[in-house]
Amino acid sequence: MVPAVVDEFLGHRRFRADVVERHKTPGVVAGLAYTATGGDVLFVEAALVRGGSGLTLTGSLGDVMKESARAALTCIRNRVDRLGVDPALLSDSEVHIHVPSGAVPKDGPSAGVTMAVALASLLTGRPAKHDVAMTGEITLQGRILQIGGLKEKVLAGVRAGVHTIILPHDNVLDLDDVPEEARKRARFVPIDTLDEAIEAALTPASKKRTVRSK
């Protein structure tokens, strides 16, 4: 229990180690974000609405983040075969991506990989590993590009209980700016492609299967 005097001088805790609980559901993945006040853990939720069509984005997303979501969906559509997913599942459903804390405006390209992995998790039924968070811009071909604010993102992830951080390979040298104590508390997985991110972030499939629409 936090002593009352600590709360009195510093205020209530800003960071909660809730990554484990929220990762139990397929389609929910933790990303790392940069804000004006430092880093933050940003959860992305993906859902399918049967009988609908198109892409719905909610959570006060800016134009760049909306573009990242569209790129993420295109990448997943191009990978349904290797994911073992029936293409009709996407064709017959509306895709909804939501980023909670809807009153807080969010923008930037670095959530692209998180959105794509959230969609892969939803479609395959594979939850994200409970201690993983990620950051990275995504291209239509599924390449993962360099991002900014890595130091702040890593510090936020460590504070929230993240033990594995997936980051663009081009950002590896930026880890030198992260305090040594924080580097010791996390494992870093550099990636170049979306496929690498999916395998690093999601729990293994129980068996090879094809997910089909009904």
Task: Please report where in the chains the tokens 């951080």 appear, as a residue.
Answer: 165
pLDDT tens profile 153-200: 999 999 999 999 999 999 999 999 999 999 999 999 999 999 999 999
State the chain's mean pLDDT as an integer: 88
Encoding tokens for residue 98?
């939501």
**What digits encode the pLDDT tens for the residues 104-154?**
889 999 999 999 999 999 999 999 999 999 999 999 999 999 999 999 999
Residue with tokens 């933050």: 40
* pTM, to two decimals: 0.87
- Give the whole-angstrom CA distance, residue 144 versus residue 149: 16
pLDDT in tens, 8-50: 444 444 444 555 556 578 999 999 999 888 899 999 999 999 8
| Longest CA pairwise span in the chain (Å) | 58
Q: Evaluate whether 164 touches 198 at the Cβ level (below 8 Å).
A: no
pLDDT over 90 (residue 2): no
Q: How high is the pLDDT of residue 61? A: 95
- Topology of 16-201 in CATH? Ribosomal Protein S5; domain 2 (3.30.230)
Residue-level pLDDT at 18: 56
Question: How confident is the model at residue 118, as a pLDDT?
Answer: 98
**209 class by beta-carbon count within 10 Å (0-12 exposed, 13-18 middle, 19+ buried):** exposed
State the catalytic residues: 110, 153
Q: Using the Cα atoms of residue 148, residue 152, residue 158 and residue 26 in order, give the sign of their dihedral.
A: negative
How do the domains of the chain map onto residue ranges?
A: 16-201
